[in-house]
Amino acid sequence: MKPYNEIEPFFITEEIEAELIAAGYAFVLPGHARTARIRELFGWQPGETLSEPVSRHLMMAGTASGCEPRGEGL
């Protein structure tokens, strides 16, 4: 296994995972890391820009919580 190089980003590839497992390390992803699609997060529809569903989501969240969204472009 190559030593860690601070200049290059470190990613766990399948090859590195296999080497770690063979060396006795357990490979467990952190429980707090999640991925989601923009459609799942903001209800994005084809043809929309990213800002449209994000703004819509923030408006709905602000209405539901009584808070106003802040920031440029909103």
* One-letter amino acid for residue 23 of the chain: A
- Determine the pLDDT at residue 73: 53
- Determine the pLDDT at residue 4: 57
What gap in Å lies between CA 65 and CA 43, rounded to an integer? 19
Sign, CA torsion 50/52/54/57: negative
What gap in Å lies between CA 63 and CA 69, rounded to an integer? 9
E-strand stretches of the chain: none
Q: What is the pLDDT along the chain (74 residues), one digit of tens a residue?
A: 556 556 665 677 888 888 888 999 886 767 776 677 778 788 888 899 988 988 888 888 876 555 555 555 55
**Residue 44: closest CA among 57, 34, 35:** 57
